[in-house]
Chain A
Amino acid sequence: MSKNISINVNYLTRVEGHGNIVVEVKDGKLEICRLEIVESPRFFEAFLRGRSIYEAPHITSRICGICACGHTLASIQAAEDALGIKPTDQTILLRKLLLHYEELDSHILHIYLLVAPDLVGVPSFVPLIKSHPDVVRRALRMKRLCNELCDILVGRHVHPISAVVGGFTKLPSKTELEEMHKRLVELQKDMEATVELFRGLNFPEFERDTEYVALVNDEDEYPLLYGDIGSTDGYRVTKYEYKNVTNEFIVPYASAKRTKWHRDSYAVGALARFNLNHEKLHPKAKEAAVTLGLKPKCINPYLNTVAQIVECIHCIEDSIRIIEFLWQKGINYDEVVIPDINERGILPQRAGEGVGAVEVPRGLLIHHYECDEKGIFRNANCIIPTNQNTHNIELDMLKLVPEIITQSPDEIRLSLEMLVRAYDPCISCSVHMVEVKVK
């Protein structure tokens, strides 16, 4: 068959950041198939130099507005590890709660506003306001509820205020715990309707086996905030050995680094977490997975969105558990942290190195810091989920295009856009961090 196709999606829409898809088919043969990252570099790693490691969560949160809480939590973990600060049990619980809110907020944005329009064949949620008013109202209501949860806990979702190195600058009152509980119960109902909605929608059928990578642990808890790094190929290393996992490499046409472990590429994100840790999900989340037909090991990347729905249920149920526990036990308000007091040398500082490894909505996020004896940055290295997924997406595209080559260019373009969107890429993040070294 001789067929020429040229697809050039300049500035992929409904993703965070700037990326292009380029596909060239000549005489029926796939010649070029790329996901190009064209976001302008912002050089975060360079300008962290000379700043206090205590400022890191505030500054690195600004890498990404969508995963701001995730960056903050990974940054805090790396900084505390470097400084030798051990968070209290209460702080850890509140951080787990914050991470659940982050997963919820980001997943709901992705599921409803970014993915759903493709499944019903419209270019954005705007036409859905007329055709599916109840669904749009529900989506916006769920977004608002998630935002309010973050507002109560950390001041706001985009660039959280009160989560800092050492703990929280403000702790929720008993009334605020009740307020959060009320909203989570509201979300429970909307989540049930979400499962019903997606039960009736069809995702493209496409499979490619790959190595899935996520945090793993030996406890009963679904690992999000802490763990070792594990893979569906049966490997496991500590977070300090992350470089053995990521093995970063560069391709000439993209400004972001890529990664591979035991295969040519690996994938991180909700589907990876589901494949590795599904048995630790809340029973209600497991039930939803069955309803939605999601079974481990699932190798259809389009179903990452379904894994996100399943995770949302887990996060809501586990948040309710945490809040009920805190409500009964009572919050210790003596643990409020005074921000930035260290900067004038009031808190002891030390030279050190630390790693933060956290499961954020799009997958495994690593921050690795090194500071001098005054707590001033020497080295920073961040490995972003989207960087870990880029090469895997491209290999998916390489397998997918020949399978759908008889379709029209518009259909092929849509399938590819949907594939990239399924991974929920965060392109702003992906170019902002590469390894840096102080000579």
Chain B
Amino acid sequence: MSKPKVAFFDFACCEGCQLQVANIGESLLDILDIIQVVEFREVMSEKWDGEFDVSFVEGSITDEHAVERIKKIRERSKILVALGSCATIGGVNGMKNCFPLEEVGKYVYGESYKFFPTLQTKAVHQVVPVDYFINGCPVYQPEFITVLKCILQGIPYYVPEYPVCVECKLNENVCMYDRGLTCMGPVTKAGCNSWCINNGNICYGCRGLTINPNTEGFKEVLKKYNIPEDFLMKKIEMYNKCRELDKQ
């Protein structure tokens, strides 16, 4: 049996999620034993013009050129995987959508803004169908490997629907709310093993909001700690602004 042909593509992003893959270290050689990476521009010059068994796509879709490119990649890919927050939920690029597009362009490029046409930031699934989602800014390597195994076995991967708090409690961290901080853990999808809180920081919500967040419970938490709702909305916008495009 020939090895599945795998490709990596990037759109508007920092390329850190691909780097997380390259950073897996020596186990990368075991992975390369079972898949054939045919395109990975960041670290390879090889190119492939056939069909891809699996395409990993990093980055958000932010201009017409990207829309056309992702459609072509989708056509050539049996399985398409959104890799990292920019691809799965729009990520930090989504903050652009808080402002009118023309104003954003003028703000950055002055009167030359027309040379840099831009669209509202979209997550990949808001443009083409996506088969697997690997959340996180950046992706968490153990989860990447789990998803890769699922893909190769042809079984679905279910993103955890419980919040980061569940993992955080298991890691015995002191709750950030008890430390007087506003943490996105209660409404953010788990799967990262509460990476940031383990390192003394708060959760910024990079993995996306849980599908069915306990909003009432969360409002109670906000009330208990006297946190204004608009302050929290600003926090949600850092990674989750594109979510509103799902509702359209």
Encode contact with B along A144-183: 1 for CB under 8 Å, 0 otherwise. Answer: 1001000000111111011010001110000000000000
Within the complex, what minimum Cβ distance (angstroms) separates B10 from chain A? Answer: 8
Tell me if A46 and B26 are in contact (CB < 8 A): no
Q: Does A249 belong to the interface (CB within 8 Å)?
A: no
Chain B residues within an 8 Å CB radius of A17: 15
- Closest residue of chain B to A65 (Cβ to Cβ) is B16
Q: Does B199 belong to the interface (CB within 8 Å)?
A: yes
Instruction: Classify chain B's interface size.
Output: 35 or more
Assembly CA distance A158 to B63 (angstroms):
26
Tell me if B46 and A339 are in contact (CB < 8 A): no
Tell me if B14 and A428 are in contact (CB < 8 A): yes
B1-36 residues at the A interface, CB under 8 angstroms: 11-20, 22-23, 25-26, 28-29, 32
Tell me if A161 and B201 are in contact (CB < 8 A): yes
Which of B49-57, B150-158, B163-171, B174-182 lines the interface with chain A? Answer: B174-182
Known: A42-B62, A65-B16, A343-B231. A47 touches B23 (CB 8 A): no
Q: Does A84 belong to the interface (CB within 8 Å)?
A: no
List residues of chain B with CB under 8 Å of any chain A CB. 11-20, 22-23, 25-26, 28-29, 32, 37, 40-46, 62-63, 65-66, 91-93, 95-96, 98-99, 104-105, 107-109, 112, 115-116, 118, 137-138, 179-182, 195-196, 198-202, 204, 227, 231, 234, 238
Chain A residues within an 8 Å CB radius of B115: 255
Known: A45-B107, A144-B26, A161-B201. A339 touches B181 (CB 8 A): yes
Tell me if B104 and A64 are in contact (CB < 8 A): no
Assembly CA distance A250 to B115 (angstroms):
13
Q: Does A193 belong to the interface (CB within 8 Å)?
A: no
Known: A41-B118, A65-B16, A126-B44. A141 touches B26 (CB 8 A): yes
Tell me if B19 and A123 are in contact (CB < 8 A): no
A44-79 residues at the B interface, CB under 8 angstroms: 44-47, 49-51, 55, 58-59, 62-66, 68
Chain B residues within an 8 Å CB radius of A50: 98
Within the complex, what minimum Cβ distance (angstroms) separates A178 from chain B? Answer: 19
Assembly CA distance A58 to B95 (angstroms):
14
- Closest residue of chain B to A114 (Cβ to Cβ) is B43
Assembly CA distance A282 to B91 (angstroms):
41
Assembly CA distance A339 to B235 (angstroms):
14
Chain A residues within an 8 Å CB radius of B14: 62-65, 68, 428
Chain A residues within an 8 Å CB radius of B99: 46-47, 49
Chain B residues within an 8 Å CB radius of A329: none
Tell me if A42 and B231 are in contact (CB < 8 A): no
Which of A8-16, A264-272, A292-300 lines the interface with chain B? Answer: A8-16
Tell me if B43 and A40 are in contact (CB < 8 A): no
Which of these, B16, B46, B104, B179, contacts A46 with CB under 8 Å? B104
List residues of chain A with CB under 8 Å of any chain B CB. 11, 13-17, 40-47, 49-51, 55, 58-59, 62-66, 68, 109, 113-114, 117, 123-126, 129, 136-137, 140-141, 143-144, 147, 154-159, 161-162, 164, 168-170, 250, 255, 336, 338-341, 343-344, 346, 428, 434, 436
Tell me if A59 and B43 are in contact (CB < 8 A): no
Assembly CA distance A16 to B43 (angstroms):
9
Tell me if A341 and B181 are in contact (CB < 8 A): yes
Tell me if A154 and B95 are in contact (CB < 8 A): no
Closest 5 CB pairs of A and B: A65-B16, A169-B200, A144-B25, A155-B199, A47-B95
Tell me if A126 and B32 are in contact (CB < 8 A): yes
Task: Indicate the member of A65, A155, A170 with the most B CB atoms within 10 Å.
Answer: A65
Known: A47-B95, A155-B199. A13 touches B25 (CB 8 A): no
Tell me if B108 and A46 are in contact (CB < 8 A): yes
Which of these, A14, A42, A336, A343, contacts B96 with CB under 8 Å? A42
A-B contact pairs, 5 of them (CB 8 A): A13-B41, A47-B99, A51-B238, A123-B44, A124-B40
Assembly CA distance A382 to B221 (angstroms):
38
Tell me if B32 and A65 are in contact (CB < 8 A): no
Assembly CA distance A177 to B47 (angstroms):
43
Chain B residues within an 8 Å CB radius of A168: 200
Chain A residues within an 8 Å CB radius of B23: 143-144, 147, 157-158
Within the complex, what minimum Cβ distance (angstroms) separates B216 from chain A? Answer: 23
Chain A residues within an 8 Å CB radius of B202: 339-340
Which of these, A109, A338, A343, A434, contacts B109 with CB under 8 Å? A434
